[in-house]
Amino acid sequence: MTQWVLYGDVFSVYTRTARMVLSIKSVPHRIEEIDPFDPDQTETVRALHPFVRVPILHVDEFELYETQAILDYVEALCPDPRLCPADAQSAARMRQVMSLTDSYLYWPLVRQAAVQHVFNPLLGDPVDQGDLQAGLDAAPRVLDALEDLVAEGFVLVPGQATLADCHLWPMMDYALMVPEIAEMVGRRSALAAWCEAMSEHPAAIATAPDLKALRI
């Protein structure tokens, strides 16, 4: 029997993306907790990923790192239900959303805004107001781009999950914990409707991190 092991941090957006895909496809797997931000675990993580990142997927004797490669591998091995659209335009939009998410959303909305507003207070770390504001300042442009893509209807369609939904939601879930970003999303009706639908998706619920566990 094939053994699936996902190495990662349950608070990592990228680990959660992989977990959502495995959940939607009902793939039995085991989670091995590793924290790339814990100095005591650096060498353990480096043994699995040369750049000390998560997630890493281990399927029998095959190990794979980098989130999009993992998603494509799972999609190829477990094609049901299909998470890559069959038509060219929808597939292209899916990849566009995934690239946009990595290139323009992750840093300002997660690493700046959500980390400063949500994570640092939970961890007892100081809040860098400049970093928080920089994330907020960058948010409208990326949210506008997502609003246009959702409204177009090729991808991020409620009830029709793709890899893009699994890639974007973990980041938006954290970003929405920042009141200013939640307000911005609320003014973008198509994106707001997608967020509401995703918050109720079984895979999103099953993989939601317990932030209370971070509180010092």
Residues spanned by the domain of 134: 88-206
pLDDT tens digits for range 73-106 = 999 999 999 999 999 999 999 999 999 999 999 9
Query: Band of the pLDDT at 128, cuts 50, 70, 90?
Result: very high
Instruction: CATH number of the domain at 96, please.
Output: 1.20.1050.10
Q: What CATH number corresponds to the domain at position 36? A: 3.40.30.10
Task: Among 77, 97, 127, identify where a domain stops.
Answer: 77
Q: Which of 45, 77, 109 is the endpoint of a domain? A: 77
* Domain limit, last residue, from 77, 108, 138: 77
- Shared domain check, 150 and 57: no
- E-assigned strand segments in 38-156: 56-59, 62-65
Please report how the helices 163-175 and 179-186 are oriented relative to each other, as an axis angle in degrees rounded to 10. Answer: 130
What's the predicted TM-score (pTM) here? 0.96
Averaged over 150-154, what is the pLDDT?
A: 98
| Residues 59, 165 within the same domain | no
**Between β-strands 56-59 and 4-8, what pairing exists: parallel, antiparallel or unpaired?**
antiparallel
Determine what percent of the chain is predicted with pLDDT higher than 70.
99
